[in-house]
Structures are given as structure tokens and as C-alpha cells.
Amino acid sequence: MFERFTERARKVIVQAQEESSRLRHDYVSTEHVLLGLVRESEGVAARVLSNLDVDPDAVRREVIKRLPETDREVDPLDRVELEMEQEEGARSLFRGRVGGVRTELYLPRPLAVTVDADYAYRTHAELPHGSTTVEPGDVADLVRDGLRETDARGLEAVIAMLGERLLDTFPAMLEVSVNVSGALEPTDPPAPTFSVSSTFRR
């Protein structure tokens, strides 16, 4: 993923990940990248800050003050993040996860369905108004409706239907992974679980 980055850029990304981990966050945001940048004593970012008479320690304190509190649980499945994109141009990686869609489709127990759009891009050049947004609620609704419409054709058929429908409905998505998991039957103790997944690309 990072082969197109310079050595210094890779170092900043690693430092951003370290900052996220130190702050007990389960994601890396632009704020963490900024914290990684102000740790650098050389390079363009360091020169810009120096030329503007910006104190890196003051930047660090202000950024940390504005980051969310970490004393509460944050469900990563409910978060949609914009993250750095490794290719040139105006494309940015749109990352979204939607979880907890449940259905009683074929099995005595509900299924848990996760749609992981790790590679859904917002591409300014390809979209008429510059960009588009994929809302997590829209993805959850599509998955839920698709599961309600599906007969007992087997999990692979359900996953294929969901993957194709997601790509058709959301033009910003270039790749989507669909995972379906659940228990084979309701027993006490619980029966072994299963998980079937597939990735779809344009």
C-alpha cells in the first residue's frame, strides 16, 4: 500500500499510527497525521511550520485537546472515515463499515451481516458535482432490503446479490467486501458459527 510513498511520508504515517495508539483510538484520522507531522524536525512540513513561527508543541496540545474523549466505547462499525489515498490525483479513500444488519432468512437464528467498503473511492474527476457521499444508513438499508427479498438460494448467492447491488447503487464504490456469518442452529451451548465472504470490484 505504501510503496508509492516517500520514506519520510511512510515515517509520518507510522508516527500517526503510533499517536492513534497512544491516544487509545481505533482509527487514524487527519489529526493523527498532523501529530505525526509535527514530530518531524526535517522536511517540508517542518520548514513550513518554522517559517510561520508555529510552535510544534502548541500545535500538538491544541490537536489533542480537540480530539474526542477516549473514556467511552466507540463502535468502529458506526464510523465512516475519510483516510489518505495512496495514489496521485484528487482521489481520497472513503472507508465505511456497516454492521449489525440482522435477518431470519434461512436459519433459526438471525444472521449478522457486515458490509466492509474498504476501497470505495470518492473521485472528483469521475463524478458530475465533484464528489459523492455514501451514507452508512443507506448501505444498511440496501443490505436489509436485499436480504428480505432473497429466497433460500444459499449464502453465496445472497453475498453475490448484495455485492452487485451495492456496486450498482453506489457509483463511488470501486470495491466492496460482504461477509455473512451466523450460527447453524440454536443450541445450548451455542452451535459452531460460520462465516462466508467475498469481495467485488468494478
Helix segments in 52-135, DSSP class H: 56-66
Which DSSP helix (H) or strand (E) runs through 160? Answer: helix 155-169
What separation in angstroms does the CA of 88 have from each of 32, 99, 108? 21, 31, 49
**Single-letter code of the amino acid located at 152:** A
Domains in the chain (CATH in brackets) are 7-66 (1.10.1780.10), 76-201 (3.30.1130.10)
Phi and psi at residue 127, in whole multiples of 5°?
A: -110, 140
Instruction: Report how far residue 76's alpha carbon sits from residue 96's, in angstroms, rounded to the nearest whole number.
Output: 9
Per-residue pLDDT tens, the chain, 202 aa: give them. 455 667 777 788 778 878 887 787 777 788 888 888 888 877 777 788 788 888 888 888 888 888 876 654 444 333 333 233 333 322 322 233 333 333 333 333 444 455 544 333 333 334 444 444 555 566 666 766 766 665 545 666 777 777 788 778 776 666 677 766 654 455 555 555 556 667 777 6
CA proximity to 202, closest of 142, 119, 123: 119
Radius of gyration of the chain (CA): 21
